[in-house]
Structure 1
């Protein structure tokens, strides 16, 4: 009954562990985007499978035999551990990206000169405008 949900949880756990390992080893690239896409798809499949089970057989988890409960518990524990590790490393990656953008902004300001002034439409001076930052030739 819950075998499909358990299989999806196991697949999602493997994807999260692989993504976490690649982020830790700094193996970037397009594979990370594919892993994130697969992770999103599997979360959707898991949500729909659990909703289907709840709709068709309310109380399905309590109706499992002991072996089924053990498998479900093991899958949930593994998924929880993988999710925690994955969330921590993704949060750190986001923090690093924010720090990097701050450093790029500070360097752009430094290169533009601290005392840069620009005339406004009313003829007044506006000091220290931030230089635009270009990433991949786009502002």
Structure 2
């Protein structure tokens, strides 16, 4: 059972590294989506395996040999490292998308002149900058 756990952890680390590489290489969305589906499937399998081990053999950690324990520790470290790199790549992608949307909105606002003025109840003139309506076509 612990061998299967090791295989799942290593597979999860590999798929996370693959997703990170695709994100950094600006791969097509369809390719990233496939990897994400595999990652979700592996994460579910890993959770299920751990739950089964805990349920069926509560002291399983103490029963594994030293070599397997070290392999599990190494695999877990690899998974943690790949997950951290993946999170960084995802944060960069999200920040880039946000910056791009803001730049498009600012350019649109500049071209269209989306600010307006109105008089308040006390006769004071107020200026407002209305948000520009933007639609992003994600099917390009």
Q: For the superposition of Structure 1 and Structure 2, which TM-score range results when normalised by the shorter chain?
A: 0.7 to 0.9
1:13–1:78 CA contact under 8 A, matched in 2 = yes
CA displacement at 1:45 relative to structure 2: 0.9
1:117–1:129 CA contact under 8 A, matched in 2 = no
Alignment correspondent of 2:78: 78
2:12–2:79 CA contact under 8 A, matched in 1 = yes
Matched residues, number: 132
Q: TM-score, normalised by structure 2?
A: 0.84
CA displacement at 1:100 relative to structure 2: 1.1
What's the secondary structure of 2:130's corresponding residue?
coil
Say yes or no: does 1:94 pair with 2:94. Answer: yes
User: What aligned pairs does 1:85-124 form with structure 2 within 5 A after superposition?
Assistant: 85-116=85-116
Residues 63-120 of structure 1 deviation map (CA, whole Å, 9 limit, x = unaligned): 10112112211211111111111111111111111111111111121121154469xx
2:9–2:46 CA contact under 8 A, matched in 1 = yes
Alignment correspondent of 1:133: 134
**How far, CA to CA, are the matches of 1:114 and 1:66 in structure 2?**
68
* Runs (5+) with no aligned partner, structure 1: 119-124
Q: TM-score, normalised by structure 1?
A: 0.84
CA displacement at 1:29 relative to structure 2: 3.0
What's the secondary structure of 1:58's corresponding residue?
coil
CA displacement at 1:128 relative to structure 2: 3.0
